[in-house]
Structure 1
Amino acid sequence: MSPVVSATAAENREVAITAATSAVQSGQLVVIPTDTVYGIGCDAFDADAVHRLLAAKGRGRDVPPPVLIGEMRTLDGIATDIEPYVRDLVERFWPGALTVVVRAQPSLAWDLGETQGTVAVRMPDDEIALAVLKETGPMAVTSANLHGSPAATSVLDAATQLGSAVEVYVDGGPRTSQAPSTILDCTGPAPIVLRHGAISEDDLAALVPMAGEDEDASGPHTPQ
């Protein structure tokens, strides 16, 4: 059984963060809490680790994992041709449950799957996740459950489904909401909702004009 490191008490938090960081930097998979559900993640620039992440989840390359970042400025390092309205969205909703699909920097040496030149990016509103991300840099992170199964709202849920595929499980306590992040396609002149989630379309529309919703809207970053 892979180790479970508790981060629920303040005095244990640094130990948990160090364990997760070391595992990621060694090319391993980890499970960490986020502000929505538990996530399974790895170094976004380690193609072998990303492959094992998708295999552990039972998901194909046609649904590439999002990338979580620990600092706002990292967005400019991994994305290009960012539409001006994206700045307004992330300044308002990050850290938080908003994922933006933007054009990826073509020079980046990574392989997240069949991304069609884009990357889904989010900055989670969770102290533990942000602490790990600030040490590791961008991580490929997707919900810590088998493809098609309910999202993990506790570390036990995640461990039951993913088992020894994960090197370190960080226990941050139960997640109280199963609402996923809202995913927006931000590659065009106005954002398009790819997945409804924790941030409502009304809240988004109050900030930036939204494109007309396409009921069949989908893309490589839309979980199936």
Structure 2
Amino acid sequence: MGGKYVTETLRADAVGLARAAGILREGGLVAVPTETVYGLAARADSDEAVARIYAAKGRPSFNPLIVHVASLDQARGLAEFSAAAERLAGEHWPGPLTLVLPRRRKAGLATAVTAGLDTVALRMPAHPLMQRLLQEVGLALAAPSANRSGFISPTTAAHVLASLDGRIDAVLEGGECERGLESTIAAVRADGSIDLLRPGPIALEAEAGDGEHIEAPGQLASHYAPGKPVRLDATQVAPDDFMIGFGAIVGDCTLSTRGDLAEAAARLYACLHEGARSEKPRIAVAPIPDEGIGIAINDRLRRAATPPG
């Protein structure tokens, strides 16, 4: 496992799943599609395997990981579920909701998964391929987005390979991700209150987190960056802009000509990847309504437009 990897591309069939499961059991890294984005999976109970995630991504050690589980029973073995947490899991799992909950003392998770916190971020994914892999491996899997830290999240296997080829063992080819935006993250507090740590595909009645402490992925001010300046709410296109359009504003890559926010979410990272690859030195993005999943889209765009600190 040392040195430069030869990254395999595995087909989404029984052979590919068995190969992926074998790599993961041995402590390797496999990029896997979920309904949100591709995740970089490793067994969550192995310090060495989780360290490889951080090394491959160049991820800061204070940024915790999301642990993916196959069942609610498996999740209950890792965290303490209050009545509020049980309700949210019952309503939204499997699906794109991550719950930040008190970690059980004997959860058996690698220390780096929680970045030293007393909480753990858990999700039960809805993507059938990820579900089958979790069942095949028989272990909880830590799986942040399968890209270099701080850069654009991947929604296709090609996006994964653009930044991680030679840095991971394999990518499981599962086509394009349906949702295209990372999960909603909510912290369930001891008093039953709910703090929204990251907006996403699922809208919740929750208070906004204070943002002062990193409790979950996606809270860094600069994130999802394409490596060039990003101008938001652009209604006029400059000659040196790669324009990302929406609705009546047509661009070099258009999120949705119909003005459909769900379609825009699914296409957001593909358009940012295209803009990053273009010869134009800047990216401009048409205004996106700040409602529904548009709130999550604008959250990602603001972070993409924030220069690294």
Question: Does TM-score exceed 0.5, indicating one fold?
Answer: yes
Q: List per-residue Cα deviations over 1:35-70 (Å, max 9, x = no partner).
A: 101010100011111011011111122011110001
| C-alpha RMSD over aligned residues | 1.5
**Residues 114, 120 of structure 2: 8 Å contact kept:** no
State how 1:65-214 maps to structure 2 within 5 Å: 65-80=65-80, 82-109=81-108, 110-111=110-111, 112-136=113-137, 137-188=139-190, 189-201=192-204, 205=205, 210=206, 212-214=207-209
Query: 2:144 & 2:19 partners in 1: Cα distance?
Result: 19
CA–CA separation in structure 2 for the residues paired with 1:40 and 1:157: 12
Please give the TM-score of this superposition, normalised by the length of structure 2. 0.65
Contact kept in structure 1, 2:35 and 2:180, CA below 8 Å: no
Contact 1:194 1:218 in 2 (8 A): no
**Unaligned ranges ≥5, structure 2:** 1-5, 221-309
Amino acid at match of 2:126: D
**TM-score scaled by structure 1?**
0.89
Matches of 1:68 and 1:27, distance apart in 2 = 16
Structure with more contact order per residue of length (Cα contacts < 8 Å, sep ≥ 6): 1
Contact 1:33 1:129 in 2 (8 A): yes
**Aligned sequence identity (%):** 27
**What is the letter of the counterpart of residue 170 of structure 1?**
L
Q: Report how far residue 221 of structure 1 moved.
A: 1.3
Matches of 2:202 and 2:115, distance apart in 1 = 26
- Match of 2:177, SS state, is coil
Query: Contact between 1:153 and 1:174, CA under 8 Å: does it hold in 2?
Result: yes
Shifted more, 22-31 versus 183-192: the winner is: 183-192
Which residue does the alignment assign to 2:274? none
2:216 to 218, 221, 224: 221
| Corresponding residue for residue 10 of structure 1 | none
SS at match of 1:143: coil
Supply the distance in 1 between the matched residues of 2:33 and 2:67 (Cα, whole angstroms). Answer: 15
Unaligned residue ranges in structure 1 (runs of 5+): 8-12
CA contact (8 A) 1:59 1:147 kept: yes
Letter in 1 for 2:208: E
